[in-house]
Amino acid sequence: MSNYRAVQVTKGSSGWGGPLTILPTDEKPYIASITGGGIHPVAAQIAELTGGIAVDGFTNKVEPDEMACVIIDCGGTARIGVYPKLGVLTVDVMASSPSGPLINFIKETNFVSGVKVNNVELTNEVAAAAVSTAGDQQKKSAQELKAEARAKVASMQSNQPQRKTGFIEKVGRLMGGVVSTFYQAGRDTVDQVLRNILPFMAFVSTLIGIILFTGIGDVMANIIKPLAGNLIGLLIISIVCALPFLSPLLGPGAVIAQVVGVLVGVEIGRGTIPPQLALPALFAINPQVGCDFVPVGLTLGEAKPETIEVGVPAVLMSRQITGPIAVVIAYVASFGLYTE
């Protein structure tokens, strides 16, 4: 029985799936490389560490039931799902996520993507078990095992005709990588829009409709209007708008800020409010802006639930402090801005 070793393959940057544990056997000794011709460095690394046989799948026919794993460079069309459907552990060197007509067969247990050479590591447990033999054979270190694997792979590959990667193949791989990157980016964008942005837009639209239909915005604007003519009133406005339990309700669509902004602008035009208060008034009516978006923004940033629980109140409380401070700074900065 051959002395094979197991490796763990983890996803690379922007990759998906895994980790996969790959252990060739006498029945499945082949590491098939189907990446546009030649043996991909990832396939060579897996074969080197496991003691498996790296095979160019474009020039040598290998049956799926003889593959320990397959290395592909698919951006998300056919190959990405063909081998998972056939029950073959699939390693994609492109940073692809499940897609295509065979998407239902692609699982984290049989597929990993974005893989580079440094994402392939010899597993300590299997390596330690593999060094002992049935007899009195002396134990070998991991370095010796790797050396044996390199010698075995070199011996197997010496029987195959060596050829250099042609210019056309290099250009094809380069263009394939570029196209795959943009293709995956497009899929991720559409996925984000469908899963997060559109539902949030529907929620905001509903909330704005409720505010406009009930007249809450007009009521709040009329209450706030008399306070907009002096610094103390502006500070009161900023404190009220930034109240943690109120700011998320005032934030959607910046309805309150828009209504109050129009009212303040009209009063400045009439001469009832000094024009130098325009800048501090802008900050006074806006401390609540975005407070409704905090949990959604953290979710889009893939924050953990614990982070969201702490982050949302932290932002709301910070607005309560920074809102009035911003009004004071704006009031000072407005000196001399409006002179006749």
Q: Which two tokens stand for residue 336?
A: 């001399």
Does the annotation count 74 as an active-site position?
Answer: yes
Tell me which of 69, 74, 241, 291 is the catalytic residue: 74
Instruction: Assign 3-class secondary structure to the chain.
Output: CCCCCCEEECCCCCCCECCEEECCCCCCCEEEEECCCCCCHHHHHHHHHHCCEEEECCCCCCCHHHEEEEEECCCCCCHHHHHHHCCCCEEECCCCCCCCCCHHHCCCCCEEECCCHHHEEECHHHHHHHCCCCCCCCCCCHHHHHHHHHHHHHHHHHCCCCCCCCHHHHHHHHHHHHHHHHHHHHHHHHHHHHHHHHHHHHHHHHHHHHHHHHCHHHHHHHHHHHHHHCHHHHHHHHHHHCCCCCHHHHCHHHHHHHHHHHHHHHHHHHCCCCHHHHHHHHHHCCCCCCCCCHHHHHHHCCCCHHHHHHHHHHHHHHHHHHHHHHHHHHHHHCCCCCCC
Q: Which residues participate in catalysis according to the annotation?
A: 74
